Amino acid sequence: MTTAYTQIRQAIVEGRYEPGQRLIEQRIAEEFALSRTPVREALRRLEAEGLVRSEPNRGAVVRDMTTDDLADLYGLRARLEAYAAELAASRIEPHQVEELDAAIADFDRALAEQSDALEVTRAITEANRRIHATILAAARHDRLGQLLERTVDVPLSFQAFRQFDRGETERSHLFHQLIRDAIVAGDPSRASALMLEHVLQGRDVLVAHLDG
């Protein structure tokens, strides 16, 4: 059964609850046919994750982000993920190469889909998550994983793919393949440089969207 947390989180990630919007327990409970208690608990959990914040006299609101906030977050994420790719180039195991290839293949299939745009974005975002998660797992660095868990912003990743045009999404797919090849070839410098550029590409699209 889908939980209150899952439903509310998906609404935030996909932009149905917009940045700065008040999250009124009673309205959410009515929307999802829930009682207020699981909604309240879900909002607390989402606040702990950084997707929601509490404001005086307003209660829970969807966290918003300035252009500077976004640039800072992506700058940090790019460097952390670049380091993960660098480490993965010397630590990846055969089964992780298979997992990485499977996720890249799923990204490719999602890219070729002609169905509902929201479903395509969901599929692309999930494949992208698996690609990056596999590289991080291959890095075998627990502290780095903890830092990235707090740095990778799921709503921003989803919105980046929503803003990407066809060419930008295909370029992201190409980056995944190039990063994969550098890691498998045991080339840490190239893997790191490619990952840095790949993440900053997403930042540039989102900054341009916010500025627009």
Q: Give pLDDT tens digits for 56-91.
A: 888 999 988 888 888 888 999 999 999 999 999 999
For the chain, the structural domain boundaries read 4-62, 67-211
Q: Write out the two tokens for 203.
A: 């930042």
| Cα 74 from Cα 77, distance rounded (Å) | 5
Q: What does the pLDDT read at residue 212?
A: 65
| Cα 126 from Cα 63, distance rounded (Å) | 22
Can you give the pTM of this predicted structure? 0.84
Angle at 68 between CA 67 and CA 72, to 5 degrees: 120
| Cα 191 from Cα 7, distance rounded (Å) | 36
pLDDT-wise least confident of 17-26, 115-124, 153-162: 153-162
pLDDT band at residue 1 under the 50/70/90 scheme: very low
Q: The domain 67-211: what is its CATH number?
A: 1.20.120.530
Overall average pLDDT of the 177-203 stretch: 97
Q: Write out the two tokens for 38.
A: 């699981």
Fold of 4-62: Arc Repressor Mutant, subunit A (1.10.10)
Q: What does the pLDDT read at residue 2?
A: 61
